[in-house]
């Protein structure tokens, strides 16, 4: 099969009049100009399938609810061009987290999920966001070992100011588990110590952390400026101002990652939902803890994030990379996020308005 488009995000960047050849579920070749045979499909724009490394739910379901619910989440985001997902689990008792990890492990083994992200419980209560502060705790190597070795945990979010956190960050990094700094009140020095210990991510930069102030830069400045840190950005026009997202992306073009931080309402409609054990109200597409103004995840999908980012001034090539190759590189997920020969044939076709037209996963059109 050969698919062709007016513009294609190739491994060499965004190119006009490009094509991709697919064979046996893999990318066989790509190029520009006339393809080696007549194209089977023609589109406005082709991108590698999107990769979401921070999402809790969608389609009315959450990853915390088990394998059947996870399939609903995956299908909801697949319809919007996301072909690879990490399942993010929210703060919970350790035995509950282990049970959730074990329930999702078969989906990782089958390739439906690319791994699991633990967003808690080793967070700061003062920046809890939509997490239950009563369940938060200091990290310790014995319990971290217990939870992380219970299944395919790819990433852990930690507040580095908590006692024992730096030692735990160092241990996790030594095991190739990505450590992200988030839900934290850490100051500049503590954040830099976490980066020196091996932290390589910023969980939804700007959100659930102190504002960047000229006399107290907090965690934002070291996370933003470190060349080794990938910064997650929730680009829905609610979590972070669009022009700030675009500025961060352009200032850090090799380490910016668009994430959804989506909850159950993503890809569906307003209503009342649960996130962990907390009630969430979704009104006008914005999710907040019931009866409060606290943002509780998002209803975002990555195609929307790309549209919002480009409208705010991010270059299209960079926005697409931040939704595909960058998140894959951030989590070390190989074979996806690019249309390189030999990679999995995951493709999202979009129109000139960046609306999803068709989605291919593993060489088959699924939407």
Distances (CA, A) of 20 to 49, 225, 255, 306, 366: 13, 36, 26, 22, 17
* 293 Cβ contact list (under 8 Å, min separation 6): none
Question: Would residue 272 show up in a list of annotated catalytic residues for this protein?
Answer: no
- Say which of 261, 303, 329, 343 is annotated catalytic: 261
- Tokens for 258, please give them: 């668009």
- Helix/strand/coil (H, E, C) string of the chain? CEEEEEEEEECCEEEEEEEEEEECCEEEEEEECCCCCCCCEEEEEEEECEEEEEECEECCEEHHHCHHHHHHHHHHHHCCCEEEEEEEEECCCHHHHHHHHHHHHHHHHCCCCCCEEEECCCCCHHHCCCCCHHHCCCCCHHHHHHHHCCCCEEEEEECCCCCCHHHHHHHHHHCCCEEEECCCCCCHHHHHHHHHHCCCEECCCCCCCCCCCCCCCCCHHHHHHCCCCEEEEECCCCCCCHHHHHHHHHHCCCCEEEECCECCCCCCCCEEEEECCEEEEEECCEEEECCCCCECCECCCHHHHHHHHHHCCCCHHHHHHHCCHHHHHHHCCCCCCCCCCCCECCEEEECCCCCEEEEEECCEECC
CB 26, CB 44: distance < 8 Å? no
Distance of CA 40 to the CA centre of its chain: 32
- The residues assigned a catalytic role are 261
């Amino acid at each position: 099969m050969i698919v062709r488009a007016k513009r294609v995000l190739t491994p060499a960047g965004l190119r006009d009049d490009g094509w991709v050849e697919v064979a046996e579920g893999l990318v066989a070749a790509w190029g520009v100009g006339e393809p080696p045979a007549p194209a089977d499909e023609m589109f406005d724009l082709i991108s590698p399938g999107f990769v979401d490394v921070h999402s809790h739910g969608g389609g009315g379901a959450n990853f915390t609810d088990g394998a059947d619910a996870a399939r609903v989440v995956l299908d909801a985001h697949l319809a919007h061009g996301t072909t690879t997902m990490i399942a993010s689990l929210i703060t919970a008792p350790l035995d509950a987290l282990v049970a959730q990890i074990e329930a999702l492990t078969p989906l990782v083994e089958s390739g439906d999920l690319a791994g699991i992200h633990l967003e808690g419980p080793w967070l700061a209560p003062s920046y809890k966001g939509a997490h239950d502060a009563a369940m938060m705790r200091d990290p310790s190597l014995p319990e971290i070992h217990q939870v992380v070795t219970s299944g395919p945990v790819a990433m852990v979010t930690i507040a580095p100011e908590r006692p024992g956190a730096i030692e735990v960050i160092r241990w996790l990094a030594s095991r190739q588990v990505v450590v992200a700094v988030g839900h934290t009140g850490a100051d500049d020095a503590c954040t830099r110590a976490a980066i020196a210990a091996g932290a390589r991510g910023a969980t939804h930069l700007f959100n659930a952390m102190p504002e960047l102030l000229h006399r107290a830069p907090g965690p934002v400045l070291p996370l933003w400026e470190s060349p080794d840190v990938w910064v997650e950005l929730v680009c829905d026009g609610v979590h972070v101002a669009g022009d700030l997202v675009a500025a961060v992306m352009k200032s850090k073009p090799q380490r910016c990652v668009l994430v959804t931080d989506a909850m159950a309402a993503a890809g569906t409609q307003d209503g009342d939902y649960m996130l962990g054990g907390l009630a969430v109200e979704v009104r006008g597409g914005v999710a907040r803890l019931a009866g409060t103004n606290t943002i509780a995840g998002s209803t975002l999908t990555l195609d929307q994030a790309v549209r919002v980012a480009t409208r705010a001034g991010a270059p299209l090539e960079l926005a697409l990379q931040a939704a595909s190759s960058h998140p894959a590189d951030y989590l070390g997920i190989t074979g996806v996020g690019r249309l390189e020969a030999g990679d999995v044939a995951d493709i999202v076709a979009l129109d000139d308005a960046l609306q999803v037209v068709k989605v291919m996963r593993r060489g088959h059109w699924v939407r």
